[in-house]
Chain A
Amino acid sequence: MRAIRKMALAILVLVFAASLCAGFLAPASYSVQFRNFVSSPACSRFWLGTDELGRDRWSRLLYGTRVSLILAPSAALVSTFLAVMVGGVAGFAGGLWDRVICRVIDLFLSLPWLFLFLIVRALLPLNASLLASVIVTFGIMGLVGWAPAARIIRVGAQSLRNSDLVLQARACGCHGLRLVLVHLAPSLKAVIFAQFWIAIPTFILGEASLGLIGLGVAEPLPSWGNLLRELTNPQAVTSNPWMLVPLAVIGIVVSCFQLLLPEREFAP
């Protein structure tokens, strides 16, 4: 099992490094159109062929990987930070705070995050810039996806509230933020890290689903989500099977993230 995990980590590092070196590895920019080679099949010049606008698929895949692999962990960071703040306060403070925050968590859990995201994403101005669409897509994911992690972190903080280490720290005069940062947070490190790691593949798959229905990152900037939009054309997929390469990359990367999770963290 350890060997499989090492292999998964190596694949992730390789994919991430390739995406960071997109500027060197990609033969063209993601938006350059080769108008004489529209919908070209895979060849030595275009390894994965070109799309219906004549853009090199291999270049777009590299740049799209960069967008998805940098922004999904960033969104996971935002959601985990919110989960730590909300869940930590609820679990550690207890009483009325806990009850109120639990209701807020329930409220967010009762609305599927994709539905919330759909509402917010669709309400952007029609002329939103490229950068705004990227930040908003992943930013909103982070802002609406914190509730499941907050519930788990709350339970962890609750179990620590009356623990010996916290009692001793309090007896030594340690209170407030210092108590949380120096004693509580390090004890919850494993739970927090697991929640962060779980969120990354969730956000990658979420962005892919949104990209497929046209609400992901705005064109011409590529992301794994909008690269999958080509799959909605069945005839093209049958004649150009290399259009499935982005899907295969998503599958491999997400499975690597899953493999790196501790076995017991698979629970939904």
Chain B
Amino acid sequence: MWLRRIARHLTALICTTLIAGLLGATIVRFGPGFESDEQQLDSRLSNQSLQALRDSHASERNLPTFYVRYLGRLMTGDLGVSRSLARPVSQLLSERASVTLELMGLGILCGWLLGLAFAVPATLLRAPIFDLASSILSGILLCVPTAVLALFLYLWDGPVRFAIGLLIFPKVYRYARNLFADAYVQPHVLAARTRGLASTRIFVQHVIPWAAPQLLALAGVSLGIAFGAAIPVEVLCDLPGLGQLAWKAALARDLPVLVSLTILIAGVTQIINSASDVLTAAWPPERV
């Protein structure tokens, strides 16, 4: 039963990741500017040089051939060579992954800690002033672009790495607060309250187990949100991570880098989402 479930998730994960790679390649290949290159605007270049620039795209013109060859090389760990940076893509990814992982990891951790640090007291204390203050704070953060938050932190020598946390915080806070509020009107929680159980015990033993599967699902979604935010943060704050690489590759129409990044991002997000699905399914039904 469990093996079948995991096998189904694994098959879906591989298929979705490969299709995502193909989708990324298709968008790049058929984008109206695929053949154009900033270097072609250089008036000093001769006709032969311009032709050589155009020929450099030749291997990528036939999309199915490119993708099949790419997947063949991928099996051996070869992701090709970046056209714009003239370096192996695998090397670029491994160098930059640590920066993005640190940025996203810290951001997600900080966002979740802050979100729960506000949502739990708001639920337990039920103090309207605390709830209002938390809602205003999260509301303000929801209304400011993450890129601007990161920019201000960067310009004023603040901790740029927490910018993503400030994006995740209001989402976690609002979702968790609503979820906990829902949990408190469940019959088993009402029964526990009428029997006079301590509020902390009710929260730990009855509210958290009820809300855990949905919080796990949100944890999976946080990853996508964090990577989306990492792109402008890394570009504006000059952090050499995968987000900045994606931006540079997109500007340079660097197909091998973009396809590798698409596969990597889709794969990681799918793994996290599948893990959260499996964990949710594994959660004992009597606790929900």
- Which residues of A are interface residues toward B (Cβ below 8 A)? 103, 106-107, 109-116, 118-126, 201, 205, 208-210, 212-213, 228, 231-232, 234, 237, 247, 250-252, 254-255, 258, 264, 266-268
| Given contact pairs A119-B28, A251-B140, A110 touches B224 in the complex (Cβ within 8 A) | yes
CA distance A115 to B24 in the complex (A): 10
Name the one of A119, A231, A250, A267 contacting B250, with C-beta atoms under 8 angstroms.
A119
> From residue B72, how far is it (CB to closest CB) to chain A in Å?
23
A212→B16 contact, CB < 8 A: no
Of chain A, the residue at the smallest CB distance from B156 is A234
Cross-interface CB contact of B20 among A107, A114, A234, A255, cutoff 8 Å: A107
User: Besides the contacts A123-B253, A267-B174, what 9 more A-B pairs have beta carbons closer than 8 Å?
Assistant: A120-B31, A125-B33, A208-B147, A213-B235, A232-B151, A247-B144, A255-B143, A258-B139, A258-B143
Which chain B residues (132-149) contact chain A, with CB distance < 8 Å?
Answer: 139-140, 142-148
User: By the criterion CB–CB under 8 Å, are A106 and B36 in contact?
Assistant: no
Q: Give the CA-CA distance A190 to B207 in the complex, in Å.
A: 29
Question: Contact at B27–A123, with CB atoms within 8 Å?
Answer: yes
Which B17-61 residues have a C-beta within 8 angstroms of A?
17, 19-20, 23-24, 27-28, 31-34, 36, 38, 41
A250 contacts B145, CB within 8 Å?
A: yes
Would B174 and A110 count as touching, CB distance under 8 A?
A: no
CA gap between A237 and B12 in the complex, in Å: 49
Interface of B is mostly: helix
Look across to chain B and name the residue whose beta carbon is closest to the beta carbon of A251: B143
Among residues of A, the one whose C-beta sits closest to the C-beta of B146 is A209
Does B91 have its Cβ within 8 Å of any Cβ on chain A? no
A123 touches B34 (CB 8 A): yes
Indicate whether B161 reaches chain A with its CB closer than 8 angstroms: no
- Docked Cα-Cα span, A212 to B246, in Å, equals 16
What is the 8 Å Cβ interface bit string for chain B, positions 252-271, against chain A (1 contact, 0 not)?
A: 01000010011001100110
Contact assessment for A107 and B41 in the assembled complex, using a CB-CB cutoff below 8 Å: no
Q: Is the CB of B143 within 8 A of A123?
A: no
Q: How far does the Cβ of A47 sit from chain B's closest Cβ, in whole Å?
A: 22
B184 at the A/B interface (Cβ < 8 Å)? no
Cα distance, A107 to B22, chains bound together (Å) = 11
Chain B positions within 8 Å of A, measured between CB atoms, are 12, 15-17, 19-20, 23-24, 27-28, 31-34, 36, 38, 41, 139-140, 142-148, 151, 155-156, 171, 174-175, 178, 218, 221, 224-225, 227-229, 231-232, 235-236, 246-247, 250-251, 253, 258, 261-262, 265-266, 269-270, 273
List chain B residues, Cβ under 8 A from A264. Answer: 178
Instruction: Please determine whether A124 and B273 come into contact, CB atoms closer than 8 angstroms.
Output: no
Chain A nearest Cβ from B231, distance in angstroms: 6
Interface contact B140-A268, CB-CB below 8 Å: no
Provide the residues of chain A in CB contact with B236, threshold 8 Å: 212-213, 232
Interfacial chain A residues near B17, Cβ < 8 Å: 110
Which residues on B sit within 8 Å (CB–CB) of A205? Answer: 143, 145-146
In the bound assembly, the distance between CA atoms of A171 and B184 in angstroms comes to 41
**In the complex the two chains form, is B33's CB within 8 Å of A126's CB?**
yes
Contact yes or no, B250 A122, CB < 8 A: yes
Q: A110-B270, A119-B24, A209-B146 are in contact. Are A125 and B32 (CB under 8 A)?
A: yes
Q: Which residues of A contact B221 (CB under 8 A)?
A: 268
> 30 A-B pairs, CB-CB below 8 angstroms?
A107-B19, A107-B266, A109-B273, A111-B262, A112-B224, A114-B232, A115-B227, A118-B231, A119-B24, A119-B27, A119-B262, A124-B31, A125-B33, A126-B33, A126-B36, A126-B38, A126-B41, A201-B142, A205-B143, A205-B146, A208-B145, A210-B232, A212-B232, A213-B231, A232-B151, A247-B148, A255-B142, A258-B143, A266-B174, A266-B175
A residues in contact with B225, CB < 8 Å = 112, 268
User: How far, in angstroms, from A118 to B24 measured CA to CA in the complex?
Assistant: 11
| Residues of the A chain whose Cβ atoms lie less than 8 Å from the Cβ of B156 | 234
Q: Which of A103, A125, A201 contacts B36 (CB 8 A)?
A: A125
A100 to chain B: closest CB distance in Å? 11
Name the residue in A201, A205, A213 with the highest tally of chain B Cβ atoms < 10 Å from its Cβ: A213
CB B57 to nearest CB in A, in angstroms, measures 13
Asked if residues B175 and A267 are in contact (CB atoms below 8 Å), the reply is yes
Chain A positions within 8 Å of B178 at CB level: 264, 266-267
Shortest beta-carbon distance, B11 to chain A, in Å? 11
Contact of B224 (CB < 8 Å), options: A107, A109, A118: A109
Which residue of A106, A116, A232, A266 is within 8 Å of B16 (Cβ)? A106
A9 → chain B closest CB, angstroms: 16
* Chain A residue at smallest Cβ distance from B274: A106
Give the docked Cα–Cα distance between A131 and B12 (Å). Answer: 40
Q: Which of B23, B155, B175, B228 contacts A113 (CB 8 A)?
A: B228
- A-chain residues with CB within 8 Å of residue B231 when the two chains form the complex: 112, 114-115, 118, 213
Interchain CB contact (< 8 A) of B175 among A126, A212, A268: A268
**Given A109-B224, A112-B265, A119-B24, A228:B16 Cβ within 8 A:** no
How far in angstroms is the closest Cβ of chain B from A129? 12
